[in-house]
Amino acid sequence: MPVKYLKETPSQTAGPYVHIGTCPSAAGLNVRTQEKPNVLAAAGTAERIRIEGVVLDGSGTPVHDGMLEIWQADTKGKYNAKGFTGWGRAVADFKTGEWAFETVKPGATPYRDGRQQAPHVTLLVFARGINIHLHTRMYFPEDEAAHATDPVLAAVPPDQRHTLIARREKRGGETVYRLDIHLQGDKETVFFDF
Amino acid sequence: MTEYMRRDRRWHPPGYAPGYKSTILRSPRRALLSLEQSVGETSGPVFGHSTITDSDRDLIANYSTGGEAIGERIIVHGQVLDENARPVPNALLEIWQANAGGRYRHVKDGYVAALDPNFGGCGRCMTDENGYYSFRTIKPGPYPWRNDGSDWRPAHIHLSIFGAAFTQRLITQFYFEGDPLIPLCPIVNTIADPAAIDMLVARLDMGNTVPFDCLTWRWDIVLRGRRSTFFENRPEGN
């Protein structure tokens, strides 16, 4: 008999009411109303950026009951840096499905073997109809040279890499990165199993 | 760098599970891309005990109305372990549930059952140094949902769990032993292995029941275990 381990507790969908436990004021509860979990960097922070998008199902319909989490390094490429939690969550708008984070662009981080990974953020998607959260990444379009040597992008089939790379635009004074996440279909986003 | 054991995807429910209709258009059709972990996967946010108050883990009284929720008073407790059976301290658990009538306090829940003015259905707690957690609430009611017309969810409580690493992230639901709706539920049945379903069933814990106050249920949680790294290149040193 092989060595035995405990089995992981199985996942179940976060369901349509995920907001009650994770972003209660979005559900309409009059509690923790001051919390803004999608703001990792306060207004006025130098180099603040916006990351936004919509999650689309296999019919192209926006997922308007989902919740996303972000996990990222600070501008120097450090996780759990002092003064920057690097974690946040955003609620998809109940009508449009639009979600957004206000944050800073992370620096490059090391791959397991010490090579550099291009700057990126981790995104998790939770929603009704998603039995176990989906794990993806967003990369920044201006880092083309770093993408060419990124060990994770190298493992992604070339014709699918674009699903992980945001579009960039200036809006007001702010740099906005947009990444639509396609759960299914021709434009299906690459999802990871780390 | 600490690494974590692979996730057993055959143990978890698959993305595409047509008995639960919402999965049909919301599941990727391509295989997940399996890769090894780096620091972004093996690290995770750190939540302090200071942000959690005792009231956070008392769903009977924490809706700040001064009154107490209606329903069967229960305590839920258990231990968070990893696959190596090591306790997971400082894990953040976020809790949400319907009220005793099966109604959620959510702007989008229109179920006919009444809202309870003294129940929000939102709580959180952290595990202690030995991985133990507990919270007090009322037992949620079952409720109907439109899957095959009128399916019914068994009584359940949702939990979101943060361990030490983002790879340990988990959102799930637990059920109450003996509920005849468990085997009928399309969401429960997205999980193939009966032994895996059994891990989501809390046990009545009469030994820890609070006399003349609360019944107690025990539900243990297992997160992904750390993997030993033998003879492997560790550029950052040990």
**What pLDDT is attached to residue B89?**
97
Q: What is the pLDDT of residue B235?
A: 53
pTM above 0.95, yes or no: yes
Check CB contact under 8 Å for B64 and A57: no
| DSSP helix/strand/coil, B222 | strand
- Which residue in the set B64, B158, B188 is minimally distant from A21, CB to CB? B158
CA angle B118, B162, B201 (to 5 degrees): 65
CA B210 to chain centre: 23
pLDDT-derived band at B230 (thresholds 50, 70, 90) equals confident
The minimum CA-CA distance between B28 and chain A, rounded to whole Å, is 5
Q: How confident is the model at residue A179 (pLDDT cuts 50, 70, 90)?
A: very high
Give residue-wise pLDDT tens across range B127-173.
Answer: 999 999 999 999 999 999 999 999 999 999 999 999 999 999 999 99
Handedness of CA B98, B100, B102, B104 (dihedral sign): negative
| Short-list B44, B126, B123, B45, CA closest to A32 | B123
A35 touches A54 (CB < 8 A) = no
Of A5, A20, A80, the CB nearest to B121: A20
Domain segments of chain B as ranges? 3-227
Whole-number pLDDT of residue B234? 57
- Write out pLDDT tens, residues A67-106: 999 999 999 999 999 999 999 999 999 999 999 999 999 9
Residue B2 pLDDT > 90, yes or no? no
What secondary structure does DSSP assign to A95-129, as a single string? Answer: TT-EEEEEEE----EE-TTSPEEPSEEEEEEE-TT
d(CA A6, CA A146): 40
- ipTM greater than 0.90: yes
Q: How far is A172 from chain B (nearest CA, A)?
A: 31
Residue B157, beta-bridge partner list: B174
User: Which chain A residues have a beta carbon less than 8 Å from that of B1?
Assistant: 112
Model confidence over B43-96: pLDDT tens digits?
999 998 888 999 999 999 999 889 999 999 999 999 999 999 999 999 999 999
- At residue A186 the predicted structure's pLDDT band, cuts being 50, 70 and 90, is very high
Q: Go through B118-141 and write b for each residue having 16 or more CB atoms within 10 A of its CB, e for each that does not.
A: bbbbbbbbbbbeebebbbbbbbbb
CATH class for domain B3-227? mainly beta
**Mutation for testing the B interface, residue in A13, A25, A65 having most B CBs under 10 Å:** A13
The CATH number of A37-182 is which of 3.40.50.150, 3.40.30.10, 2.60.130.10, 2.40.50.100?
Answer: 2.60.130.10
Instruction: Please say if B158 is a catalytic residue.
Output: yes
> Alpha helices, DSSP H only, in A40-97?
none
Q: Do A193 and B33 touch (CB under 8 A)?
A: yes
Name the residue ranges covered by the structural domains of chain A.
37-182
Q: Which tens digit of pLDDT belongs to each residue from B8-49?
A: 999 999 999 999 999 999 999 999 999 999 999 999 999 988
Give the pLDDT of residue B238: 39
Whether the Cβ atoms of residue A58 and residue A185 lie closer than 8 Å to each other:
yes
The CA distance from A134 to A157, in Å, is: 18
pLDDT tens digit sequence for A98-139? 999 999 999 999 999 999 999 999 999 999 999 999 999 999
